[in-house]
Structure 1
């Protein structure tokens, strides 16, 4: 894809290749065909590399990650759902004017809008709703406040350290490939230090449990995946430019779809775990990350046709989001080219 210029993403995050191979393993198990499993790996990889291209402007402008792409995990493949939601909201009068973000809260409430204070209040609310006693509520509030304060500070040194490495890698590649622009593919954990992502993540930890209760037919109770909720909605935060109102709408839809798909893949997921010797007899296992991935599930249904109605609904929603994401990326590129041309004309 690099040689043919189908993508600009050079993936150096080998630890997250498991997302692609998991799709292949699930497809292999569902169809009994090793080669269809390999095809699943290839399709997943090629698709998320394109998503890395398409969301490069969001990664650069919103998160400040110059020359870096996020072609992995739920952050990449759930971005199109946020684009679809954003497009729909833009067409609804009144709804398209609602905007509030972590920065807005801070500006409006001054010291009471600081991340530490907001985190403390969120912890209090979550603790009370969870039915904790007074001591546990206060402990949770302090821990939540600490997360709001420390997470951005912990992620920043990582970002600062990776930036020069990414720049050097890009220069080497550009020299080798005749000046072609490249993006270095890295872990979506880099997105989790942004204040708006932290805020949204803390909101969605209890909200995801509520969604799990409300989704019809859901059999998955989120537990281990709750610690990774930020990955699911990080790109949505960027797509919505930090608008927490829109992020809440996108996130509810994203987590609802994810939980529904995760329920559909319980059988395959359980069989994989049993084959790996990681499951006791009679147990079941599921996950939101790849077990709830629309890419994985759509590929499985494409070759098995076990749930035609579900396949049609998810395919329409997801493909609409992908097409809108592709069009949005083309518009960004065209706008940047026009700006560059105008600047060159002024300079000359």
Structure 2
């Protein structure tokens, strides 16, 4: 088991820019794509993810300090620190069940495809950490019950794959991702609440007439409605809320404008490599299985390049901090996961066809509930993090919006606690 764990950790440490091209190359060969075409596409996809990661790094490196500055500027005093998804992922990979769950979750996906329970082939191995986090939750709460941990991971994975199937039609149309869907755990979980709430908001008289998608904004405001200019203004406002002087606020604005300008171009590079493989897989499956459809499951990073998505996510950053202060019962100090809010709203924005007003309102409901769930998850999350995370001075409890504030993980937590109480 130790040897298996070490092998898995070595592969995972290579990162998505290595794992994904290898997975794509193997899958392409399985579906009878020529070696040269498969290799070129795989490398192009890897380069695309390098570009996406660089832009995401630009976002987090600039937005993280700004969020911390807002926390300091407003003197927020909350007892549970949001340490962000990277620490939650590291803690999940470090649990004893992680090495076993990766091949088991992949095998389950293949079985579900064969049984026609899902149309999604999830090749985003790195993001299997969401499934493993569910398994780790069950493992910790039950005192090390392996079988129950595997059950929790399987339940989480099945629900995510079904959500990805249901979201595929409108996300493919909105983001232009033909043959692709996004079974990213946090994205799928947030859509469980956000998509129906967004639909309800769109039916409220008065609010239903409010439309603010990037196209209509640009048409109305000209250059000031362009995505990079919107990013500039949002960045300046966040900087000023954080107590930055005008120069630093403008610098933050330029960085966020850069994110909104560059991200679609990085996604375009990735899609240049992905579309030939996706088309080949669909053609092969359609011919061999009489028109059956299969979608490739990839990271929701593919969606955050859309101006409506990232604008919604950035607007929700200061709103989430404000809600953290005023919501009764919340003890989570949002920090580490603020920069990943665009991932949470991906399906919500697509379901609202890019209407930023409706998406922000739905996102507020999602983030409010995430804060309360993350607060409730604090004790178990803290136990999971011991030994893999250096707690900052004065911090006794940690959580994360991505894992602790995720309704699927929270449901797994309650399921595990009920199981432990009964048995």
Tell me the TM-score normalised to structure 2 length. Answer: 0.68
Structure 1 partner of 2:117: 6
Tell me, yes or no, if the aligned pair for 1:16 and 1:187 is still in contact at 8 Å.
yes
Structure 2 partner of 1:251: 363
2:397 is aligned, of 284, 294, 297, to 284
Deviations along 1:64-109, whole A, 9 cap, x unmatched? Answer: 1011111112211211222221332243222222211121110001
Structure 1 partner of 2:152: 40
The 2-side partners of 1:188 and 1:196 are apart by 14
Structure 2 partner of 1:93: 205
Deviations along 1:116-135, whole A, 9 cap, x unmatched? Answer: 22222222222222221122
Structure 1 partner of 2:230: 118
Deviations along 1:220-265, whole A, 9 cap, x unmatched? Answer: 2122212211111111110111111111111101111111111111
Kindly report the root-mean-square deviation, in angstroms, between the aligned alpha carbons of the 2 structures. 2.0
Question: Mean Cα displacement is larger for which, 61-70 or 291-300?
Answer: 291-300
Segments of structure 1 that go 5 or more residues without pairing to the other structure are 307-348
Structure 2 partner of 1:262: 374
The 2-side partners of 1:291 and 1:214 are apart by 19
Structure 2 partner of 1:295: 408
Quick one: higher RCO (CA 8 Å, sep 6+), 1 or 2? 2
Structural mapping, 1:63-78, within 5 Å: 63-78=175-190
The 2-side partners of 1:30 and 1:172 are apart by 44
2:336 is aligned, of 220, 224, 238, to 224
Structure 2 partner of 1:214: 326
Tell me, yes or no, if the aligned pair for 2:182 and 2:298 is still in contact at 8 Å.
yes
2:164 is aligned, of 49, 52, 62, to 52
The 1-side partners of 2:214 and 2:370 are apart by 26
Tell me, yes or no, if the aligned pair for 1:117 and 1:145 is still in contact at 8 Å.
yes
Structure 2 partner of 1:340: none
The 2-side partners of 1:151 and 1:14 are apart by 22
The 2-side partners of 1:187 and 1:7 are apart by 17
Cα distance change on mapping 1:110 and 1:91 into 2, 3 Å? closer
Shift of 1:175: 4.8
Which secondary structure state, in structure 2, belongs to the residue aligned with residue 192 of structure 1? coil
Shift of 1:278: 2.8
Tell me the TM-score normalised to structure 1 length. Answer: 0.82
Structure 2 partner of 1:145: 257
Tell me, yes or no, if the aligned pair for 1:270 and 1:285 is still in contact at 8 Å.
yes
Segments of structure 2 that go 5 or more residues without pairing to the other structure are 1-111
Which secondary structure state, in structure 1, belongs to the residue aligned with residue 398 of structure 2? coil
Tell me, yes or no, if the aligned pair for 1:119 and 1:148 is still in contact at 8 Å.
yes
Structure 1 partner of 2:132: 21
Q: Does residue 124 of structure 2 align to residue 30 of structure 1? A: no
The 2-side partners of 1:226 and 1:91 are apart by 29
Cα distance change on mapping 1:164 and 1:279 into 2, 3 Å? same
Which secondary structure state, in structure 2, belongs to the residue aligned with residue 2 of structure 1? helix
